[in-house]
Amino acid sequence: DQQVKQNSPSLSVQEGRISILNCDYTNSMFDYFLWYKKYPAEGPTFLISISSIKDKNEDGRFTVFLNKSAKHLSLHIVPSQPGDSAVYFCAASEGTYKYIFGTGTRLKVLA
């Protein structure tokens, strides 16, 4: 049973435009959410996180939005750059240190 879902396996965006990556979850007890970026042949690297007490967190070009009622979070990248091309994973935990990851979305930023 997939508790964290990323329904878009891939996304292509023009350089300079906004990239929006989406993530849905089923467990209402999740209270901490993270986004990771992964390049080929490397481990995932942390991008940005958000606690369930917030609905938005911003870090430079990256903003994460959380809609608890819809059990949905999204990652916005503005402006998108070719170096942002990677696989993006969302992850969630429920008051423990057990992190559950989604299936990932491959982002391709076209120059």
Partner 1 sequence: NAGVTQTPKFRILKIGQSMTLQCAQDMNHNYMYWYRQDPGMGLKLIYYSVGAGITDKGEVPNGYNVSRSTTEDFPLRLELAAPSQTSVYFCASFGQGRQSYNSPLHFGNGTRLTVT
Which one of 14-22, 36-44, 65-73, 78-86 is the stretch in contact with partner 1 (CB under 8 A)? 36-44
Identify the three-state secondary structure at position 4.
Answer: strand
* Of residues 58 and 67, the one with the C-beta less far from partner 1: 58
41 is a contact residue toward partner 1 (CB under 8 A): yes
The single residue among 30, 44, 73, 107 that binds partner 1, judged by CB under 8 A, is 44
Binding mask 49-88 for partner 1 (x = CB under 8 A): x-x-----x-------------------------------
CA–CA separation, 59 and 42 (whole Å)? 23
Residue type, 13: V
Q: What is the DSSP letter of 83?
A: G
Which H or E run contains 66?
Answer: strand 62-67
